[in-house]
Amino acid sequence: MNSTSGISPATTAIDAPQDLLIVLRHAPHGSSWLREGLDVALVAAAFGKRVGLLFQGDGVFALLQGQSSGPLAQKGTHPQLAMLEMYDIEHLWVSEAALAARGLPVDSLMLPVTSLEASRIARLMHSHPHTLIF
C-alpha cells in the first residue's frame, strides 16, 4: 500500500534514489536529534546533493501541523521543514506503520509525504547509496 496526500505527485516515486537518505526517528523539541538531522539534510542540499528524508518512529511527529516554538523561546524544527522545498528536498517518505500506531492520517500532516509499508522501506534504504539515521 502506498498513499500520498495528493499535493505533490513527485513524492510518490521511491524509484528515484537520491544521493543521500536521512532517516529521522526522533520527535521535535525533546532532543536535538531531529534538528541536527535536518541540518545535515539542508547543508547537503545546499552543497548540490540530492537528499531524501524518511520519517520513522517518533520522527513522524515532526510533521504535525500547528507546532510552535517551545519554552524559553526554544526554536522548533517546523521552520526547517518549511524550508525543505526551497532547498529542493522534495522526496519525503514516512513509515505507514509509524503513522498508524500514532493515529495520524497521512493527509493531516504539514507537508506532502509518501507513506510506505515495511517492505518498501527496506527497498528504499537499499536503493540509496548513503543513509544516515538520526
Partner 1 sequence: MLVHAAPYSQQGALSALRFANAVVERGHRLSTVFFYHDGVHNASALMSPPQDEVQLADGWKRLHREGGTQLLVCIAAGLRRGLVDTGEAARHGLNSHSVEPPFELTGVGQLVDAMLENDRLITFAP
Partner 2 sequence: MTLHLLNRSPQSEGVYRDLREAFGDGDHLLLIEDGCYAALSSGRDAVAAFAGRVSVLKEDLVSRGLEGRVDGAIEVVDMQGFVDLTEIHQRSVSWF
Q: Which does 80 bind (CB under 5 to 8 A by kind): partner 2, partner 1, none?
A: none
Nearest-10 Cα torsion for 38, 41, 43, 46 = -130
79 binds partner 2 (CB under 8 A): no
> Which residues lie closer than 8 Å to 32 by C-beta, 6 or more apart?
none
Binding residues for partner 2, rule CB under 8 A, total: 38
Q: Which three cell numbers stand for residue 67?
A: 507546532
- Of 18, 95, 114, 115, which lies in the binding site for partner 2, with binding defined by CB under 8 A? 95
DSSP state string for 79-102: HHHHTTGGGT--EEEEEHHHHHHT
Residue type for position 88 = D
Residues at the site binding partner 1, with contacts judged by CB under 8 A = 19-20, 29-33, 36, 39-40, 43-44, 46-47, 49, 70-75, 130, 132-133
Q: Point out which residues bind partner 2 (CB under 8 A).
A: 23, 25, 27-31, 56-58, 61, 64-71, 74, 76, 95, 97-98, 101-103, 118, 121-123, 125-126, 129-133
